[in-house]
Amino acid sequence: MSEVNNSMTNTVGKHAVVIGASVAGMLAARVLSEHFDHVTLIERDVLPDEVKSRKGVPQAQHAHAILAKGMETMGNLFPGLMKELENDGAVVMDFASTVRWFHYGSYKAAFQGTVSSIGESRPLLDSKLRARVAAIPNVEIKQACSINGLATSADHSRITGVILQSDAPGGKDTVLNADIVVDASGRGSRSPQWLDGLGYGKPEESEVRVNVGYTSRVYRRKAGDVPAGSSVLYVLPAAPVEKRGGVVIPIEGDRWLVTLFGYFNDHAPTDDKGFCEFARSLASPDIYNLVSQAEPLSECAVYKVPSSLRRHYEKMNHFPEGYLVMGDAVCSFNPIFGQGMTVASREANALGNVLKTRRSLSGLSRAFYKQAVQTINTAWMLATGEDFRYPETEGVKPFYTNLLNKYTLAVHHASARDTRVYGAFIDVMNMLKPPTVLFAPDIVWRVLRANKATQQQPETNRQPVTITTPAR
């Protein structure tokens, strides 16, 4: 594995510190390495040498998605990364033709497209990113290291480093000085408390509560497990009536990763019978047909997400120089829609764009959030809009949500008949194009035409669905 090309064309500081070896943290370290003499990535966990889950990433045992825009962005930061993943068994596939997606009573209209998807476990991705970051000459990774707070200038106007907790009982904490500190420590970030303690107050928060729960299990993957031509099974609930769904993705090691989920505490059980019965209850029998016959290779793992949570650092009237917050520490989404890693990659891209044009770090945070918030806004609107289809959802619903949801429901129905509409929708959900493409005149006309045909012949596109009896 070759080291990342690290030609520093615009150096703006001597030392940068990144808190957290999350995907966002590793991407941030990669970007910062081009603009600082030295970068220190600090992680509380002991990082595994092999491909395995770790305590600080409880979601790692569940299905993840790198959307096409995320694949593109990560590939630009780490050339050859996707090929490395594929060489280690990850499955690269065409989204439009291989994702067997059942939603609102129909399967999407499969066709040969140009948008790629990749199936891999989160631990494999993390291990590849860690190796790439560790290979950057001016990046140091400090693991099993906890941070007790932020060091500041005398007037608290600038963050000047982090306070490292002593390893020895009763030992004295030490300060690691830095020109900039980036918090990528995840949803449990202590930035709100740290900033409040320094007199800046806490950021305004938006929260949309849905109480989603994941239950996941790994199975052996064999030919014929899924319908011909399919690589991914995706069953989403038809809100507001249905609350259960699931996804099956191929991962390295000839395995299937099966994740079942439910809204509002309707979560899949962890015992064999309960897991299978939950799969049987889904709107399509595809996932049940697989789990009822495939060989399980793991126990069930559980992960619960009470809400989508957004912290509006961009709205704070006062913010210290030399400090940024990124990734899930800024915004964590309902994981059903697979947006988190792609949003983190776009934030890293925004950070790089801002740093390339600057001679100093003054005003960096405002410039960064001005760019990053555009990606966050779009992802937040798409994810929470779907969540607000349920009357049980708690949170402040924007005034336009019901009207937008009515049209996107029509888009879903049209995507079962019209490949042009489905293709446009794939581009939007993969963050390749803005949602406005769905309102282009030709797409609107196709949506209306397809929905009219559906109303006249509501069963014409529904494929036969049968539950396969397990072999005994």
pLDDT tens, position by position, 197-251: 999 999 999 999 999 999 999 999 999 999 999 999 999 999 999 999 999 999 9
- Quote the pLDDT of residue 295: 97
CB contact at 8 A, 326 and 8: no
319-328: burial string, b at 16+ Cβ within 10 Å, e else: bbbbbbbbbb
Q: Rounded distance, CA 273 to CA 296, Å?
A: 13
Q: Rounded distance, CA 318 to CA 471, Å?
A: 65
Average pLDDT, integer, range 95-108: 97
Indicate the SS3 state at residue 122.
helix
Q: Is the pLDDT of residue 431 over 70?
A: yes
pLDDT tens-place string over residues 132-177: 999 999 999 999 999 999 999 999 999 999 999 877 677 789 999 9
Average pLDDT, integer, range 394-401: 96
Q: Is the pLDDT of residue 442 over 50?
A: yes
Angstrom CA distances, 212 to 304, 312, 337, 349, 376, stand at 6, 23, 12, 30, 21
Kindly state the greatest CA–CA separation across the chain. Answer: 75
Q: Which two tokens stand for residue 436?
A: 């406005």
Task: Note the helical H segments in 319-468.
Answer: 340-356, 364-387, 401-414, 419-429, 441-456
CB contact at 8 A, 142 and 41: yes
Q: Which two tokens stand for residue 107?
A: 């399967």
Task: Note the helical H segments in 159-259.
Answer: 191-197
Q: How confident is the model at residue 7 (pLDDT cuts 50, 70, 90)?
A: low
Q: How far apart are the first and last CA of the chain?
A: 47
Q: How confident is the model at residue 457 (pLDDT cuts 50, 70, 90)?
A: low
The whole-angstrom distance between residue 211's C-alpha and the CA centroid of its chain comes to 17
CB contact at 8 A, 260 and 234: no
Q: Rounded distance, CA 286 to CA 18, Å?
A: 43
Q: Where do we find the tokens 């890293």?
A: 348
pLDDT tens-place string over residues 248-269: 999 999 999 999 999 999 999 9
CB contact at 8 A, 365 and 181: no
The whole-chain average pLDDT of the chain stands at 93
Angstrom CA distances, 18 to 75, 144, 153, 184, 326, stand at 21, 14, 19, 7, 10
- Quote the pLDDT of residue 374: 93
Cβ contacts of 188 within 8 Å, gap of 6 or more = none
CB contact at 8 A, 28 and 181: no
CB contact at 8 A, 177 and 13: no
Domains of the chain, start order: 13-57+123-206+310-384 (3.50.50.60), 91-120+210-305 (3.30.9.10), 401-456 (no CATH)
**Residue 314 DSSP label:** G
